[in-house]
Structures are given as C-alpha cells and as structure tokens.
A and B are shown apart, each in its own frame.
Chain A
Amino acid sequence: MFKILSLILLSSLALNAHVNVMVTDDTEINNTSKQELSNLYLKKTTELKGKKVTVINNKKNYDEFNKKVLNKTPSQIHAYWMKQIFLGKKVPPKNIEQESLKGEISNKKNTIIYSSEKLDKKVIYETH
C-alpha cells in the first residue's frame, strides 16, 4: 500500500515538475516566451530573435512540456504531427533520452532543449 501511494505521489510530482528550457551557452539568446517556444516546437518558424535555431525534445519531460508550453494533450500533439507528416510538410523535432541531451548539444550553436533537471546550460524559460 505504501509503495502504491509513493508511486502515485512520485508520478504526480513528475507531472508537476518545472521544466527548464535551455540553450547552448555560446548563443546570444537570453530569454524567450511561451508563444515563441510554441512556434518553434510546432515548427511554425525556425527563427528566434532573428537567429536560426534547432529545437530538441526530451522524452522524459515530453508530455509535461507539451501540456505546459504547447497547451496540448499527448493525443492532440500526436494528431498535430500526424497531420503535418501526412500533408508532406514537416516532421516533429528530434525526441531524445534525457541522458543524451548533453551530448546532443555539446558542439551545436543555437540549439534549444528542455529538462526538469538543471544541465549547466543557460535557462531561457521556466514553466510554472
């Protein structure tokens, strides 16, 4: 019983965790807004503050980020990307494991990631 309660508590904490949106250190981008992030992660644009950027999803916080930043449920975001794919327009940003995030952005400029953990990168947005 204790184990079940702990699991429920832990999963509810995970769903309510803050997500930090970070960018590679050598960039001149210092902050962003929810709307700008939404445009980038839905691939409505590839530019942020006049610079071309690459966005990457984090499997661990994917649902949380979609809910808090894109205002979409897992089914809604899936339907959005299915529509874009079958229209032959766009494919979703890469979705990688938490452990691979640091390696993925180590040599890249203007790359945006998110995580519930601090990754020693410049935080440009934080969900509430």
Chain B
Amino acid sequence: MKLTNILLLSSALIGSLSASSLDTQFNYFGNLTASSINEKGYEVNHVINSNVDDKFSLAPYSKVGAQFSIYNDDFMFVTQALAYQNNDKNELELTWLNGRYQIMDGLSIRLGRMQLALFLNSNTIDVDYVHLWTKAPIEIYGSMPLKSFDGIEIAYEKVIQNYFIEFKITPYGKASTNVNVLKGTVKADFTDMKAIALSVQKGNLTLSASYTIGIFDMPTDNITGLAQILGGLEQYGNDVSRYSYKNKDISFLSFGINYNYNNLLFTSEISQIKSESLVPDMTAYYLMMSYRYNKFTPFIMFAENKNDKNLYKTDNIKVVDATSGQLKAGLDAILYNMNSSQQTSSIGLRYDYKVGIAFKAQLDRITFDDYGTYYPNPQSTHQRYGFLSQEVGVAKVPVFQFTTGLSFAF
C-alpha cells in the first residue's frame, strides 16, 4: 500500500469522523545511550543502525521519536516518526501512520503503517523507556532488518472471567527497508505478509505467541565472489538456487512469557526463523530475571541464537575436478561468514530517576560458536560476519560490550 493511499484513506477516516468530538495528543520518546566493546578487530553488527566498535559512540542506540495522535472513543489516528543515525548519516523514518477504528467493544480494525510484531517486543522496540534492558537482545531482535509494514490488522481483545485475551490477525502486509551489509546498503523487501498473534494474561502471568509468514527478497550481489561462484557451480550441473535471498519463503515463530511475583520479574522468549535461503534457519531465546527495589531494578539476562544447521552442508555440491573443488571451497567460505551463532550473558541496572526518565547500564559478555571449517576468503577482511564480526587474524576471545545512557518517554 502506497504512502499516499494511506494518507488519503486516513484523511477520509478523519473527515468522516469529524462530526464527533476528537481529542489530540503529542508524545515523544528517546534514548541517549553510549556503547563500546573492549576488543579491536570485532564489531557488533546492526542491520539498520550503526555498528558498535572499540570506541564509545552514541550512534548505535541513540534516537528520538515523536507521535501525534487524534482520537475519540471509537477512532484513533497516529503518526510517528523516528530519527536516528546509521553509518554517520542521519535518518528520519516514518514508523507509524495509521487509523484504527473500533467496530464494537473489543474488536478493531487498523489500516496503514504499523511496526511489525514479529517478536514479543518488536512493535515497541524503539521506545526504550518501556523496556528494562538498555538494548534488546540482538540474538532475537537483530535477526530481521524490517521494522514497519503497510497493511491491515484486525484485533480482538476481551476479558473473560479473569483472563485478558488479545488476538490479532494481519491478513495483508508488505514492507521494505535498506539493510546494512558488508559493503554499503541494499534494499530488502518483505511481501505477502500474513500474521497471527495471541496473548493471554491472568494476574501476573502473560503468555504470548505469534506466527508470521511472507516472502523475503534481498540482493546478494554485494557479497564478493558469490555470483561468480554460483554461476560456476551451476555450470557443473549444481542446483544453487537455495544460496540466495531471492523471493524466499520465510517464517517467524515466537513464544513469550512474562511473570511478575511481587517485585520479582521473569521474562523469556524463544523464536525460530525458517527460510530456504543463503542464511541458515535460526533458533534464538533469552531469559531475563530482575528485582525491583524502590527506584532501582537490577537484572541479569542470558541470550543465545543458534543457526539450526550448525555445519551448513554443501555435501550436495558435486566436486569433479580442481576448479569445482575451489568453487565449493569459496561457497563454504561465504557460508562460514553467514554464521551468527552466539551467546550473551548480561548484567544490568535500571534506575527510575523520575516518572518518564530512566537511567540504564548494561555489561554484556559475548561468546560465539565456530561454524564448521573456516576456508579463508581472499576477497574478504572478515573471517566471520554474524551479529559479532571478527576480522581475519584476530584471536577468538570473549568480547565485552558496555552500554549506558538514559531513556525517556512523555
């Protein structure tokens, strides 16, 4: 759905409802946060934000957002923009632009631009103030570059006895964004999106689940040597279609739990991404425990993601001579770079200075898994390019990341 169509539709909705009284509201949020890692030769890679290296920088996690809402009892129109920095460039993104109409008590339909709810906190991921952590675990939230989609959402929520049930269906949606890759950026598209999500809350316990499917398309021309290698292997009669990201079916499955016992809070989430593509399937989870003591909330967290095909198999590639052997080794080198399996152990603290302002600090210890046998790729300076990239010749060691700053929302 084009942006102009959304604007026209939203204007029509506002116009049709202008007879009833409408209220307006302006809200804003932001994050002023610095981060650094302790090792040279490594970087924490972000797909749509600046990376974190061994120099303290505000760029990767700092941002500011503003929202204007028009609403009454049955209708709500929101427009939200987000400003942040990516690779020394200032970016301004329209993250929300939609109209929501309450058809009857509990049942609503929303049309326009919304943030994707692939995982438990995806649609509020920019509003850092509402989250305990300093930054979301990259193992889950860094796995998909797309943030907003244009489409339709039908939501139903109801209190049945002591259960609060929320059910959402997205029958149509599409999204596109620029994604950071090793050399510059490329445009990624997510089309034919369909999603369902269910959340059940009883007292202090909330259980959530969501399932999203769609078609993902991202050029891989920027991966040095891949096109030549695949072309060469094809000439040897190999089917190499799976080693791309061209119009690939992709699915996201997520389960979450939130349990609050007095001042103790436990949160966990597990997700699975599946696609027959260049990037192997991935399972990720995190466990987070915190204890609120007045304005202080210390927390510990463990996050892990694992490429489901730990050794990305290329056994099906035919090797008949030295050239085909070299081509297969080249493909293995590229696939090795695709590995993102890693673990992060975190300790952190949130201090609620006053209503709307929180100071946060977090220390992460990141370790990573090897991915089969490493074949040096003479055209790459990286021997690994996952969430944590490692340059060639740099020793494999645990990497520490420190992040601190303040979050606000009003």
Contact = CB atoms under 8 A, between A and B. Distances in A.
A82 B106 contact: no
A85 B355 contact: no
A78 interface: yes
B78 A39 contact: no
A87 interface: yes
Contact of B69 (A39, A78, A79, A88): A88
A3 interface: no
B241 interface: no
Interface string A85-114: 111111100000000000000000000000
Contacts of A88: 69, 76, 78, 80, 96, 98, 100, 110, 114
Interface residues of B, number: 36
Nearest to B121: A83
A66 B352 CA distance: 17
Interface stretch (A10-18, A19-27, A41-49, A120-128): A41-49
A39 B71 contact: no
Contact of A74 (B80, B110, B158, B355): B355
Contact of B159 (A45, A74, A75, A86): A45
A35 interface: yes
B71 A82 contact: no
A52 interface: yes
Interface in B325-360: 352, 355-356, 358
Contacts of B67: 85-86
A78 B355 contact: yes
A62 to B, nearest CB: 11
Contacts of B105: 45-47, 52
Given A45-B158, A52-B105, A79-B129, A86 B29 contact: yes
Interface of A: 35, 39, 44-47, 52, 73-75, 78-79, 82-83, 85-91
